Amino acid sequence: MASETKHAGNFVEKPRTIVALREEIAAGRAKAADLAASYYQRIEQINPQLNVYLSLSKERALEQAQRVDAMAAKGDPLPALAGIPVGIKDVLVMKGAPATAGSKILQGYHPPYDATTVARLEAAGAVLLGKINCDEFAMGSSNENSAYGPVRNPVDPERVPGGSSGGSAAAVAANMAVATLGSDTGGSIRQPASFCGVVGVLPTYGRVSRYGLIAFGSSLDRVGPFAANVRDAATLLHVIAGHDAKDATSSPAPVEDYAAESDKPAAGLRLGVPAEYFAEGLDPEVRAAIEKGIDALKAAGCEVKPISLPHTKYAVPTYYLIATAEASANLARFDGVRYGYRSPQSATLAEMYRHSRDEGFGAEVKRRILLGTYALSAGYYDAYYRKAQQVRRILAEEFLRAFAEVDAILTPTSPVPAFKLGEKTDDPLAMYLADIYTVTASLAGICGVTVPCGATAAGLPVGMQVLARPLGESTAFRVARAVEAAGIR
């Protein structure tokens, strides 16, 4: 295992790469079973401090590791992720494992099937370590909304790891997994990756199957990978991407070899820098780090030009109308009838519904259900939900016009570095504004990668967001790899 780097909290440890681990297993220098055991030992040591894993799948992981070791011993060709320890955000179902979505209302639910992404990882040889903590039903920007306690940032355990996939980002940063899966509805992969100093990928909507993902906002939800470097993230996306007959929104477009594409130089690419993402509210240290990243891309031979995305200012209210409306509809199924938590204080059916939902859902989920129900109610639908959908289309068209002029767009991932636990919990609006640079891409359906791009004076990571046109993941990976290669500190 790699030696620990010096960060506050002393929990950050650089994981080994997929390529290196796979080569060691193939050559017989390492055993997948021993590797899995070492990761479980690491989890046992530091999970009590960071609260990353909610449950472990040791029996399933050991069986998979033994299959990989048997293949290696026979000299059989190994699949892309052979023996690689991977963690799964607890909004994706795994057969037999608890699926809580970070909520009390799903207590005791063990799904009878695997999400498509989970099945594809295992088919590629990955060893699935367990289920990872997250904001309840993926609703949050800090990972403080989980019914099972907040996740702490490995860089500084007094700070948040970001949300809602904070546990997935923290697991990679603390080397509690080589890679993980998360979900992103309005920034839930990109913002935690930025806060924890790892790579996170927002695939194009429909690029990765949502079958087996517990829904928050169905027109916004996406599944994507976290990894310690761009090439590993590209490798994971290649494994999980592609058409799935079980998901009607799944794209039939061919899947590129993203890892090979990420190896291509970024020289000659046209990159846009939108003025709206560098306005009031951007932390000066974040701005300075992103500007250094932009300079590094210029030095790598990229053409950088200013662009404008003037409707960006409407993105946050638009997102929080559409996402909450869809959440209101999706979460109606959790009623205490067929599975999950059921309140014991119920004499009638109506009381069972009311008490089960009141006791089972947390405050943030209730807030979003109420907001969404209001936006969809008679007399308000046209004024709020329909208007938000119209603005969403304008935002999407604005991005497409920009991509006619540039190959990718560069922005900060978050306006601020990781903030302290409890700092924004009493101010929902301030928490929602933490998503100001990520919700636009979510609404537009485009893809993006966030890549580490320096740090503040206090050592807090800063992420650069690289956005590309729909199905333009290869371009985003090329740019992100160039930022990574610059070694900005």
State the catalytic residues.
89, 164, 188
d(CA 267, CA 410): 15
| Contact (CB, 8 A) for 439 and 446 | no
The total of other beta-carbon atoms located within 10 Å of residue 18's CB is: 27
Beta strand pairing status for 270-274 and 303-307? Answer: parallel
DSSP 420: B
Beta strand pairing status for 222-227 and 303-307? Answer: unpaired
| Contact (CB, 8 A) for 414 and 277 | no
d(CA 297, CA 290): 11
- Best CA proximity match to 171, nearest among 139, 223, 201, 129: 129
Q: Using CB atoms within 10 A of its CB, is residue 32 exposed (0-12), middle (13-18) or buried (19+)? A: buried
Identity of the amino acid at 471: L
Rounded to 5 degrees, what are φ and ψ at 128? -90, 110
Beta bridge partners of 272: 305, 409
- Starting at the edge strand found earlier in the chain, the sheet holding 270-274 runs 53-56, 127-132, 85-89, 179-184, 222-227, 199-202, 447-455, 461-468, 408-412, 270-274, 303-307
Q: Determine the length of the chain.
A: 489
DSSP 2: P
Identity of the amino acid at 329: A
Cα end-to-end distance, the chain, whole Å:
23
d(CA 361, CA 194): 28
| Contact (CB, 8 A) for 60 and 128 | yes
- Best CA proximity match to 409, nearest among 311, 305, 483, 316: 305
Q: Does the CA dihedral 304-305-311-312 come out positive or negative? A: positive
